[in-house]
Each structure stands twice: as C-alpha cells, then as structure tokens.
Chain A
Amino acid sequence: MARYGMALDYKSCINCKACESACKEENGILLGADKHRIWVGVPEMEGIFPNLSIGSSSYAPSQCQQCDNAPCQEVCPTNATYYDDNGVVRVNPEQCILCTYCMQACPYDARYIDDRTMTVDKCNFCSDTRLINGETTTACQATCPTKVRIFGDLDDPNSEISQVLRDREHYSLKTHLGTKPKLYYLT
C-alpha cells in the first residue's frame, strides 16, 4: 500500500518525446499519433520575430494527473474506473463499455480510446507493467534524458518525492476544480 504521485521538473524538458515512446513500448500502446498516455504541451509562441518571448515557450510534459478526487471515476457507470490500493486511478477494460463519460469528465484530457479493445485507456503509472514486477520507476521517468520525473510514495515521508515536495515550490493543475491531482510541477 502506497500513495503514488509524481513530481515534474518541467523546466528540464526538451520536448524530445522519449517518454512517449517508452510508454508505448512498455505498455503496449497502439501505434498512431493520437494514441498516447503521455504528451508534451507546447504553448503558442508569443511575440514577433526577432522579439520572441523565451519564457512563453516552456514545455509542459503531462499525463493523467492521478486525481485523488477523480471526476472520471465518479461518472463511470460500471466502476470500470477505480482507485487501486496504491491510489492509482485505473481502468478495467473488462468492465469498460465505452460510454466515454470519463473522457468528457476528465478536465485534463488524459484519456483516449484503444481501438483494439474498444475501451478507454490512460496512464496508470505503469502499475501492471513495471510496479507489479518490482520496478520502482515508471517507463517515462527512466528513459528521460533530463530526468524530468520523480515518481514515488507520497505517504512515505522519507521518499524522494516527499522530500522534494517539502523542499521545493510546486504547483498543480486546475486545483480549483477540487480534483486533487497527484502530479506536481516543480518551479
């Protein structure tokens, strides 16, 4: 039993998309540019050549926020979306009926449809591929050249993620919605 979360040193991101490839390989995600559990947000560049705003061009690596209070779970009529013992929001494809309510409910656009199973899929912190087999990092974290991600147990005060969140300022996304995300962006 743990409560997994992820801190992102997003300033280190170079938008190389290694994380996206690694996630696909590890989790057997369908090929296709719109099939992915993880992505990098790139804002529109502000300014006019040659006066561009460098600050406006920061990359925003993202994936499912693993909300503690997940709207996707709330709306799921079959309980296909559920919290597992580690606080990870998971989808059970056996129970998913592709009503897509969760996709509409998710404020972070974290879900997509797996055309093979015709069910909804999203990041599960590599629970069934890595964590269950004793790995302590996620595929996206392990492969990243600049080591953007720190994954770990938020309930363990000695874990690196807990320490980092104590020591460094951070923010989460759309907190006003009360979703209580467990992805933390380090500033």
Chain B
Amino acid sequence: MKTEISRRRFLQGSAALTVVAVSGAATALIEKEEHDKVASFGLRKTQWSDKLTEVPTLCEMCVNKCAAIARVEDGVITKLNPNPLFPKSRNMLCARGNAGIQALEDPDRLKYPLIRVGKRGEGKFKRVTWDEAYEHIKNKMVKILDEEKDNRSTIGYCAGEGMAEHTYVSFMQDKIGSSNFVNHATICLTTTIAGYTLTLGGYGQADLENAEYVIMAGANRAEAIVTPDTMDMFKRTKGRGAKLVVIDPRFTNTASHADKWLPIEVGTDLAFVLALTHVAISEGLYNKKFTQENMSDFEAYKKHILDKNYTPEWAEKITGIKANEIREVARDFMAHAPRSIYYQGRRTAWSFQDFQVRRAQAIFTAMGGGVDKKGGILFGKKLELGKHEIPSPSYFNAEPRIEKDKAAVVGTSGSWIAWRNTIIDGTAPYPVRAFFAYKQNPMLSVPNTSKTRQMLEKMDLVVVIDTMPSDTVMMADVVLPESHYLEREDPVKTFGGSEPSIALRKKVVDAKYDTKPVIEMMRELGEKLAKPLFEISKKYDEELQELIEDAQDEGGEEKVYKQEGYDLAEGYKHSQETINHHMVTSVYGEEAWKTLREKGIFYPDMDKYFKKKSVNTYQYYPEHKKSYSVIKGELDVEPYHDTCVDTKEIGVLKKEFRTATSKIACALYNLEKKKGVDAMPTWREELYTPTPQGRFRFITGRHGQFTQSGTSNNALLLDLMDENYLWINKRVAQEKGINFGDNIEVKSSIGAIQIKAYPTEKIGPNVVFFIHGFGAESSELTLAHHKGANDNMIIEDHYEKSFGSAAMHETIVDIRRV
C-alpha cells in the first residue's frame, strides 16, 4: 500500500477538520430551528417518477459557468449532473456545483424586498413590496440628484462577476449615467489582464491540454478551480505529459502535482521572472525566429535585462530561490518551448509590482514562441452573437470618476480601494452619496473592512441586490432579492477559445420566494425613475435644454425623451428569453436556438463533431478543427472571453498604449511617456519591503470548496470544511507553544482577528496564511455567522500605482496565542 487510505480526515489542503469536532458543530446547527428539516437542504434521492424532467443550465456557484443538467421532480431539483456537451467544463461539476441545490434551498436566503428600519448596519429591516422598495429608492435619488444638480456620478456602484452583471452595469452606467463604477477586477485580475493584453495583444487561454512545461506562480489551479485549465492540467501531471513547476510560498494541492515546488519570498516574483529571462538571453536559449518576426523592441529588452544584471545570483538573494534552480527552470522551459507556458494566473492582486510581473511572464513565454501555438497561449475563436443595443442618454453634468488620478491608468471599471478611500478621506472632488451593490460583498471582499464600513456609513442611500443576507446586505437601506441562478434565465453567452461554443443558463424551477432576476428589477426601477430623473436633467442639463429647444417643432420634449434614451426601462422591456432568442437566431437561425434550449450548448457542427471517446471523455472538435493558431497578419485578438473584464475598456487601453500593434510588445514607451509606468519590466527596490525578522507576512487565497464569501452558508460545503485556519510553520508554532486548534490573534496595522491555528511544514517561517471568505458578521447567515476569520479585517488597503489594483500581500502581521 502506497498511501494511507482511511476515512479519517487528515489536516489537509485548506481544510483542517477533525471528525468529532466538525460533525458535532455542523449537525448541531442544522438541527436548529429553521434548519431542522434535512430534506429542506435538498439531500433528496431522485424518485425517478414519470414526472422527472432534465433541464440543462449553467452553474453559478463560482465564475466558471460549468454546464449542468438538473433533474427536476415535482418542481424540486433532486440532483445536478455535469452536462458533457460543454467544451469549457469538460463534463464535470465540482463540489460547489453539486451544492447548488443547498444554495437554492438555503432557508436563510433573501426572500422579499426589505427596507431598513433600525440604524444602518444594525440588521433591522421590514418586509416591503417591490413598489415600496422602488419608491424609496426613487425618493432618495430624486433628492440627491436635485441637490447635486444632476451630477449622475454621485451614484456609485459595484458588481461582482455574474452573467447578469452586464444588465445591471449597463443600467447604472448607460441609463443612470454614473462614471463611478467599481468592478471587482481591481481586487482580482486587473494586473494580469492588463499585463498580458498590453504585451501579447490578448490575455488568451493557456493550452494546458497540450503544453509540455508549465510554470504556475501563485495560481493554485487544483484548489482555485478554473475551467478547463484545472481539468486539462492535472490529468497530465506526475510524469504523464506535462511538467509542472509551482512557485508559491505555500505547498498547495497544486504543488502536490508539481515536478518542482519552489517556495518564494512573498512579493518577489518579478525578480524570479527577470532572472529566468536573463538566463534565456545570456545563454541564447530563446526562439530567434519567433522573437525576430513577432516581437517589437526585443533587442532593447535584451540590452535592458543584461545591463541591469538580472542574474540568477542576484535573484536568489531576493527570492530565496537558488540560482541553480532558476537556471534549470529557464533551460527546461526553453527546451520544451513553444509548448511552454508561464501561466497567466487570475487573481493577481498581491504586490506593488504585479503589472510588471505579468508583463515579464508574457514576454518570457513569447521568447519561447509559445503564443498562438498549440501547447502555448492561444487566442482561439469566439462565436459571434446578435446585438442587444441599449440606447444611452448623455448627461452633461455627470462628472468623471472621483479616483481617476489615484493610479496611472484608471479605466471605466475603477480602482476599488482607491475609490473607496477617496470617498472617506475627503479628497473626492464632489460627494458620492448613493451606493448600489450587485452580487458583491465589499464588507468581506475589499481590503480593510472598517474603511468599507465607513464608506457605506457616509451614503445617503445604499441599495444591495443579492441572494443571501451578506455583511454588505446588513449595511443596506434597501435590499432587492435576486432570484437564484436555478430560478432564472440569464443572458446567453459565448465562450471563446480553441473550442468555442455558446451556452445558456436556463431557468430550472420557478422562483421559490418573492425574488426577481436583475433584468426585471432594472425594467421596473427604470419605469419608476425615468420621468422624475428626466425632470431633474431638464432642470440642470443645458445640453438637454438645448436639445428640447431644437426639437420644439417636432414633438419637443417627448421626442427627445424617447430618442435620446431617457426612457430608462428601454432595453430591459423584453424578457431575457426573448432577447436571447434574438441574439441567437439572428446569427444562427431557429434550429440553433432549439438545440441550445434543449441541450444547453450550441456550436456549429456540434452534431457532427461531438463524440463520446470513452466512459469519461468526449471530443468537442476534431483535432484539425480546433483553433490553435488564428493570427494572420495583425495581432488583433479578443482580450478576454469572460464577464470579469470590460472588453471596451481593454480596447481603449490597447489603442492608447500599444504602439507596434501587430507585434508582441517588449517595451511600452507610450505608457511610460504618458503615465510614467516603466516601459520595460524593471525591478524596483523601493516597491518591495522584506518581511522584518520575527514578524510575518500575511497572504490569503482561494480553494475548491468555497467561492469567496458567497458560499459560506452552504450546509453541504461546510461538511467539507467548517472554517478557515491559520497556516503557520510547525517549528515556529512549536517555539511559540502553539498547537493545532489554539486560538491565535493575528494583528496588522489596521485590525486584529482571531482564528484557530494549523501548524504545518507546508509554509515558511516568515509567512502566515488563511483562506478568504470566512468570518461573516451577519447573524442572518445561520451557518456562516462567526465561523472563522475575515482576512480583510487585517489586510491593509495598499494598491499598486499602475492600475490601482489591490496589493493584498503587502501586510505584515504579528501573532500571539490568546
């Protein structure tokens, strides 16, 4: 027997469970009051009655949107199975995907609209009708906008990732007309998207199905699941086709699949990549033909790297990774190129140099030639969908966003931390007085929770749209409950890549409570707000006044109102199904629509191409039909095929800062000239603080059983992991007399939390870690309430100055047993 096989749970991965403790805690709570009926959590066997139907849909337990087939009996979902037809999700549903039923059936869900009755944050609400909720919002908005003389940007808003996110954002941005949007991107993937897009022309998709050598730095794909990357990668590790090098201060589940795990000093990735580059250049290992044909300013970059003397010996001192290891990795990488990838990563909100790290990674990958090639970074194809235009009025008095000068490049999706801090530190050029949140929980998700609280406390109106009573919901004045993803149809979506397809989230069951999908809320709120807000614009907006003057002869005001898009409900009037029908049939015809509704997935020739290859595997496209190399001439590719990033915004970025647009850019001189950001990746000593002796750097991360804070109340998932634990080096813990399960205080300059200890050798002596998403304060979350700790109570609100992206791993903490 090779490994211990026992049903006893070891302290593992991110979880540290002991059978006795957990079963006690979990079942005790579940038996409590509302949580008394196990059946109400949906652990129901399918009865296979004649009433059984199977409905294809898409999972929304995280951002991946895996295709699922729901078994429904008598209006109840008894099981979610993977839908094999979707190339992106490759016939799987993870633990969270399976637990979608518990999310749907959670007795704590938001069930009807609410208006606050107590003090803000006190958690006292009364049930109201939708109309009362809209009326409340209208009265506040009319007052605020009147007082702010129609400066629409006085309404701030944020959004988490979701298929209906765009519906909400378009309403707030185009219809209400505020520039103050804070997308979740700057607490997640801004730097890697910007880094890869500005360098390669697009973020691309790592072809892990065919790569032979992969460096994953920080990206923990075995736990932070990304499809199809996770599935493609780990079928081929451990000597089965793909070599994997993991750079991570922690030994993660991903590291356990690695050929080489190199723990790095937190915040020094740039030095590591620069040294790899130095080896490849000084030893002449790069792809000469590819660099010559496809890369601009490569000679200048070579000179830069050599002049700066970024040798492995130099990097060893900074990163803690041995020079010979760096040499070996660089040589192996180039030996396997072009089937070698320095993996782009997703959440890259760690340090002050993140943008340049991603630039350097992209250039290094390109030096091996692994761009737009099988086994490298692919751009693939995307299937077009019909358009759904939403006419938008222009508001003359809407001011530009408040934090636009707080980082070099602040685009339409803003900088979360800088934006919030601008509101509370008094540097905002005008007041932001209302705040809308959709599917985001900034109280838990943005570094420095107490500042987020201060920001919300300053508002005259806080509106939160969500499915669960999160900590942010507790801060709301008006709560609009969204229907659960299994209860609604969402905008149809196209998924690009080497095997492109179109997928649909279809409603599986009727809404259980008095909830609505976002499109309906926008329609109804639009109807409520349109005329009163138009009146305010008429009062203050000189351009509008002129327009009305000019149109006096042909309908005047009424005409302007209609033609210029002031009817705020316009664009949301049809049902989502009708809109989807139009978007699909206008390009692919009725037959495609039928397929999509019946099967959940559509792509041209799917009936011919899709084949079962074995009991577990399927062919989506025959090999010669996959889109591996797509660039002919201009390097003009789609930046990213996901909802997390605004393609328009990235388009602007590329246009402004990529000079030789047809090439891979080693130098971004425009970015340096216009914005003062280094044209070429350069190690900046002043941007790195080594961890002081005897203290710890705090790092955070994700894992495979929970998605941020959104699933923290899920009964089934809490079986798998009941709370988060503090990883601390075993020997350090021993010295400090800390044992497993001891209560530890972790303290930074902004706050302190308490959490149980998990001493382990899987982390170095100067780092401590716990996973994100736990520590909810909301007492309405029966199971999540006060479970584990909230990392953002201690993560300081640093952000890097290129794009305003959070630098979450720049916090130094002290610990003590309590």
A interface, CB within 8 angstroms of B: 9, 11-12, 14-18, 20-22, 24-36, 39-45, 47-50, 52, 54, 57-60, 62, 108-110, 112, 116, 129, 133, 136-137, 139, 141-147, 149-152, 160, 171, 173-174, 185
Contact = CB atoms under 8 A, between A and B. Distances in A.
A54 B258 contact: yes
Interface string B220-253: 0011010000110011011010000000000101
A12 B234 contact: yes
B619 to A, nearest CB: 14
Most buried by B among A21, A57, A141: A21
A25 B39 CA distance: 11
Nearest to A183: B5
B82 interface: yes
B769 interface: no
A1 to B, nearest CB: 20
Contacts of A145: 90, 92, 94, 225, 230-231, 234
B443 to A, nearest CB: 28
B95 A21 contact: yes
Interface of B: 1-10, 12-13, 17, 19-20, 22-23, 26-27, 30, 38, 41-46, 48, 78-82, 90-99, 101, 222-223, 225, 230-231, 234-235, 237-238, 240, 251, 253-259, 261, 263, 614-617, 704-705, 715-717, 719-720, 722, 729-731, 760-765
Most buried by B among A9, A34, A44, A174: A34
A136 B615 contact: yes
B6 A15 contact: no
A166 B7 CA distance: 29
Contacts of B225: 16, 145
B19 A143 contact: no
A143 B238 contact: no
Nearest to B322: A50
Contacts of A33: 9, 17, 19, 22-23, 26, 719-720, 722
Given A34-B23, A173-B5, A52 B92 contact: no
Given A25-B42, A49-B263, A150 B615 contact: yes
A32 B27 contact: yes
A16 B94 contact: yes
Given A24-B98, A147-B617, 12 more contacts: A16-B223, A21-B98, A21-B99, A25-B80, A30-B43, A34-B23, A49-B764, A50-B764, A143-B81, A143-B92, A146-B230, A160-B614
A113 to B, nearest CB: 11
B211 to A, nearest CB: 16
Counting from the closest, the 7 A-B pairs by CB-CB distance are A21-B98, A57-B256, A14-B222, A33-B22, A147-B616, A28-B45, A42-B12
B26 A32 contact: yes
Contacts of B256: 54, 57-59
A174 B731 CA distance: 35
Contacts of B80: 25
Given A18-B98, A28-B45, A49-B761, A109 B261 contact: no
A145 B704 CA distance: 11
Contacts of B98: 18, 21-22, 24-25, 143
B8 A109 contact: yes
Nearest to A28: B45
Q: Interface of chain B, helix or strand or loop or mixed?
A: loop
Given A14-B230, A109-B7, A129-B45, A21 B616 contact: no
Contacts of A141: 615-616
A117 B41 CA distance: 18
Most buried by B among A22, A35, A48: A22
A86 to B, nearest CB: 17
26 contacts: A11-B240, A12-B234, A12-B235, A14-B223, A17-B720, A25-B99, A31-B30, A33-B722, A35-B23, A36-B7, A42-B9, A42-B13, A48-B731, A50-B263, A57-B256, A58-B3, A136-B615, A142-B81, A143-B92, A143-B97, A144-B92, A145-B90, A147-B92, A147-B235, A150-B616, A160-B614
A27 to B, nearest CB: 7
B26 to A, nearest CB: 6
A133 B30 CA distance: 31
B231 A34 contact: no
Nearest to B78: A25
Contacts of B3: 41, 43, 58-60
Contacts of B231: 145-147
A21 B225 CA distance: 16
B222 A31 contact: no
Most buried by A among B9, B22, B80, B616: B616
A60 B258 contact: no
A149 B717 CA distance: 22
Contact of A49 (B82, B616, B715, B763): B763
B234 A146 contact: yes
A35 B235 CA distance: 29
Most buried by B among A14, A147, A171: A14
B27 A16 contact: no
A31 B7 contact: no
A85 B10 CA distance: 36
Nearest to A50: B263
Contacts of B263: 49-50
Contacts of A41: 3-6, 10
B7 A39 contact: yes
B137 to A, nearest CB: 39
A60 B731 CA distance: 27
B26 A18 contact: no
Contacts of B258: 54
Contacts of A144: 92
A116 B45 CA distance: 14
Contacts of A39: 6-7, 9
A24 B45 contact: no
